[in-house]
Every structure is written in C-alpha cells, then in structure tokens.
Structure 1
C-alpha cells in the first residue's frame, strides 16, 4: 500500500511537530486508528494528539503551537492564517512518537500534512563544576560484597559466642 505522500522521520529526530488536517467525520476522527492512519503504529501513542480545532477557541492552532508546544513565533508566523483557518480535527505528530526515528510513514489520503515545526529548545548550559572532595566519584567508605558481609557477621558472631562461653566458664569455676 503506497499512500499519496511518504514522510521520512530520520533516525534520532527530536523536537519536531508535524501538523495534519483530518478530512473525515467527527466520529472517524475520535476513533482514529493511528497505525492505519499513519501507515505505522507509533511506539509512544501519547506523543500523538488528535483533537477538534474548535477546542482551541480564543487561542487558535497557531497559538497552541507557540504557547502549548514551544514552537517559536517566528516559525509559525508565515503559516498563522492557514493554521487558524483550519476546521474539523487535526493530528499533531511529535518526533518522539517513534522512539528511534528512521521511519517512513505512509499516511492515508484523509491526512494532509499542513506543516512541520521545530520546538524551541534552549541549548543546554553546563552547570558550574564542583571541585569539593565529596563531589569526586568513589569517595567515602566502599561497600562490602554480600559474601564479605556474611563472613564479617560470622566472625563477629563467633567472637561473641566465645566471650559468652568464657564468661560462663569463669562463673562456673567461681561457684564451685
């Protein structure tokens, strides 16, 4: 089965959102089978959103992408009118829906790709380097293995038993 459009999700892709318009009835959209609709069932279906655009009254789809999904305003601006003019249901497909990427999707004809947007992800800044002795790896007392722990317990028990027996012997000698 070859769909009208194939969509490549490259290996390791992160932080992209694909917006699809759904050309189907409300009932079909509510009961959408993701595997059939996208051509491959997502590894994490919680990374796919299907909802009626009317749920975004006052915010609009463009506003939801910016405010709710972290897409930069400058990226949405050229498509704002088209996104906000959409009616019916939409499907948002986040990159992480397919854990490792490297997937070719063949969406059914009822799904129309409207656009692909990147989430605004601030560059990770390394924190300050901590140079105290306690921050170094493997500081402190090393833990004993279970076998060494049992051996130490047996030795302690044998010493305690020996002391109790010696004390009893001394008491018996003194009493006699």
Structure 2
C-alpha cells in the first residue's frame, strides 16, 4: 500500500499518475465498472481508496507501449498542457499500463487517495502556468490625447435653454403685435 496522497484544491488543472501492475488480460476487468443490483463494483476505484469513486470522464487508463512513438511525456505536455519539470525522461521510461486521474474527477470534499495494489503512485503534475512578460506596444497613433466628447447637459442647462427660447419667442411675438397695432 502506498501512503495516503493529499488531494488539494488547486486553482489549475492537476493529474495524479499511477502505475498499474497487472497483465494485459487483467486490465479490462480492473478498469471497467460493473453494476450489480444497485451495487457498483469498480476495482480501479476501490484500489484508489477514494469514496465516492472518481468521475469516469476524467480517468484514463493508457497502454504506454501504444504511446511509445509519440511519447508519454509529449502526451502530458502537448495534449494536456501539464508542466513535468525535470520528469519528462522518467515518465517516458515507464512501460505497461498507467492510470491518469485528473483533478476534475474528484469531488471538492474528498481529501486524499489511499491507493492499494496493483496501483503505485508515480507523481502529481499541474497545468503549466504561462507567465510571459508582455512587451508594451509602441505606436505613433497612441501618442497625445483623444478628443474629449461634449459634457452631458444638466437639467439646469436644459431649463435655461428652454427659458431663453421662450423669451426670444415672446419678444418676437410682442414686436409683431406692436407693429400690427401701430
């Protein structure tokens, strides 16, 4: 039995990798869940020592011999965006079957794996965090200030404009009546 492995809620994607020490003909039975009268039997989930079982959609069992030409490290880096640090060669040297349990497979209340045979823990890897420095863009078009728009008209300004219009209208109206009457 491997020591219990803490499951921490990371702000990014993680994967736990386990070596499966079984023959090729035993892998299918080990990795598939069977439901018998409301009883879920999943040897892989039981061997992980976690309850409830992880979400199947985020658990992968891989035959590393089938990945040999592409490379297991390339699969983790390029296809899954993980940062392997200095472990790329160690992971490429593995053979047989491997189990990947992605962080999305475990529920937030679960605190640890307690793996048992035939699983042995290989490592935990996280999604690569891109921290590139961005160069500022230099452009002549960005120099100076943009023209400022007109300020929003306040209620007092609008009232003053209406009063001015009314006074002008009344002045014209009175002038016309004085001219006609005179």
TM-score normalised over the length of structure 2: 0.58
Deviation at 1:10, TM superposition (A): 2.3
Segments of 5+ residues of structure 2 without an aligned counterpart are: 31-42, 132-182
Alignment of 1:86-105 (within 5 A): 86-105=94-113
Give the length in aligned residue pairs: 118
Q: CA RMSD in A?
A: 2.1
The residue number in structure 1 matching 2:18 is 20
Deviations 1:147-166 (A, max 9, x none): xxxxxxxxxxxxxxxxxxxx
Tell me, yes or no, if the aligned pair for 2:45 and 2:54 is still in contact at 8 Å: no
Which of the two has greater helix per residue?
1
- What SS is found at the alignment partner of 1:20? strand
Aligned counterpart in structure 2 of residue 10 of structure 1, from 8, 11, 14: 8
Check 1:83–1:101 CA distance in 2 against 1; reply closer, same or farther (3 A cut).
farther
Segments of 5+ residues of structure 1 without an aligned counterpart are: 124-176
Tell me, yes or no, if the aligned pair for 1:13 and 1:100 is still in contact at 8 Å: no
**Does 2:117 align with 1:109?**
yes
Structure 1 segments, 4+ long, off by >4 Å, are 11-14
- What SS is found at the alignment partner of 1:54? coil
Distance 1:114 1:46 in 2: 21
Larger Rg: 2
